[in-house]
Amino acid sequence: MPAAADWSDRSRELAQLLARAGLGDRAAFATLYERTSAHLFAVVLRINRDRAQAEDILQEVYVNVWRSAQSFDAAQSQPLTWLTSVARNRAIDSLRRAQSQPQIQAAPTSGGDDAEDTDVYDKLADDSAGPLELLSRAAEARALTHCMEGLSAPQRQSVALAFFDGLSHAEVADQLQQPLGTVKSWVRRALMALKGCLEAAVQRDVAGRG
């Protein structure tokens, strides 16, 4: 493997971001997400073809990265190689978990809360920036504060715990003493609402500059 001194500028930048994230630098972590999420999402999607599940897995990947950034060793691998390994292992684990659980085919529904919860990530997983990416980009923006205030208290708390504190959905459910399915619903609906609000804020900002 090439020595760190021979790395590309991008590899050196990612290594620096990982080091800062390992020290608790949230801005560096948000930048790391912006620089690498498209690549890691493609890695996950090659293993798990379900885009909705891939969105969930990608969030889990970055929770793992946030927690284990200090363990990255530049002498062992380049940063993107290490990140890709984390994403690949998480995606493979998700398939193993799915194979170990009974497969239940839900009856189709014409609408209602269940249908909305099931396909919300499918609706969000388009070619535009995803809700998590928008959330990362706006981490220090006033627009985020405004948009967060528009969420219900449970949605706001669950998103804060999941994204800013790096907890998994199961850990959020445990901390809030709520069913896992309820917490997932809160997070998904909150991300959908945040995406719409942040996109509107960006559009207003662009219009204001025109």
| Single-letter amino acid, residue 157 | Q
Residue 114 is predicted with a pLDDT of 38
Q: Quick check: pTM over 0.85?
A: no
User: How many other CB atoms sit within 10 Å of the CB of residue 20?
Assistant: 17
| Single-letter amino acid, residue 167 | L
Residue 108 is predicted with a pLDDT of 40
- Per residue of the chain (210 residues), what is the pLDDT tens digit? 455 666 888 889 999 999 999 998 988 998 999 889 888 988 888 888 888 888 889 988 999 999 999 999 888 888 989 999 899 888 888 877 766 544 433 334 334 433 333 333 333 444 444 555 445 444 445 666 778 888 888 888 888 777 665 667 888 888 888 999 999 899 888 888 887 887 787 777 667 666
